[in-house]
Amino acid sequence: MKCNTLKELIEFDASVHNLIESDTRFQLVVDRLYDCIHTYQPKVIVKIGIGNPRYIQAIMEQSKALLVVVEPSLSVIQSFYTAYGSKEWINRFYPVAGNVNDFPVDYYKADMLVCIDYFDLLDTGRSIDEFRRALQFDGVFFLSGFVLPNDDVEGIFDEIVHAIHPLHTDYYLEDDLKTFLHLNEFEIAKVHTENTALNLFSIAEYLNADTNQLQKSIEEQKEKLITLYSLQGDGTVTLPYMIVASIRQKPSRDETI
């Protein structure tokens, strides 16, 4: 399987959610999402992608908010309505068919923005500008996804993922992601990082990538992968998964001049 666009990847992953919003991480993420919803009581939530519908159902059942979902794939939207169109909360669900990087959401419309497992598939610099624009001041940016341990300064794990995942951009180092959010006017309010196991060969086979090349890349970086990622003989690694809730800040007076 060779994905050329995010839309193709989303449609490919839509039935099993191996890459985006995996069931295996559902409880880890949704417990912290519930906490943010109950703490900040958003009235308008914007979510990046339909992804795994379990997350949408969870949001709708825990909140009376309007939920706007920016989704690149019309077929995924249609499938969602086929499966969930009879739910009592469906009249609070508003899909927007569009490019996530261009983000068709008006200025300051969202009280909360939710991005689960999409960040490493986006142009992060461009997307964070759009997310900041769409969020109200004091709005909540809920972000979850894999990061690299701070000691992987060479980004060796990113190099391996690039070889098997055609649309992967980059993972941030754990501390670099916090800095990136701060520099873009998001102050971290809550953060949780938990080590999560991934099997590189399973991902490669799922994406029909070259497992021989993957094996070669692993052998070249084996010692570092063992040290930094607890590499096991079957290709399983341990990677930090970070969940962050940050608050949209007003720019300083100097920045507005």
Query: Could you report the per-residue pLDDT of 46-83, keeping only the tens digit for each?
Result: 999 999 999 999 999 999 999 999 999 999 999 999 99
| 125 inside domain | yes
Mean pLDDT of 96-106: 83
The model's pTM is 0.94
> Residue 248 has which token pair?
């949209």
| 215 inside domain | no
N-term to C-term CA, the chain: 50
Q: Are 252 and 242 in contact (CB under 8 A)?
A: no
- Domain range holding 176? 6-150+168-196+240-249
| pLDDT single digits (tens) 4-51 | 789 999 999 999 999 999 999 999 999 999 999 999 999 999 999 999
Q: Are 87 and 57 in contact (CB under 8 A)?
A: yes
| 155 inside domain | no
Residue 107's pLDDT is 77
CATH of the domain at 90: 3.40.50.150
Q: What is the share, in percent, of the chain residues with pLDDT greater than 70?
A: 96
Mean pLDDT of 126-144: 94
For residue 173, the cross-strand partners are 148
Instruction: Tally Cβ neighbours within 10 Å of residue 64.
Output: 10
Residue 257's pLDDT is 42
> Residue 167 has which token pair?
């649309």
Question: Is pLDDT at 224 greater than 80 in this prediction?
Answer: yes
For residue 148, the cross-strand partners are 173
Looking at the 3D structure of the chain, how many domains does it have?
1
**C-alpha span between 46 and 50 (Å, rounded):** 11
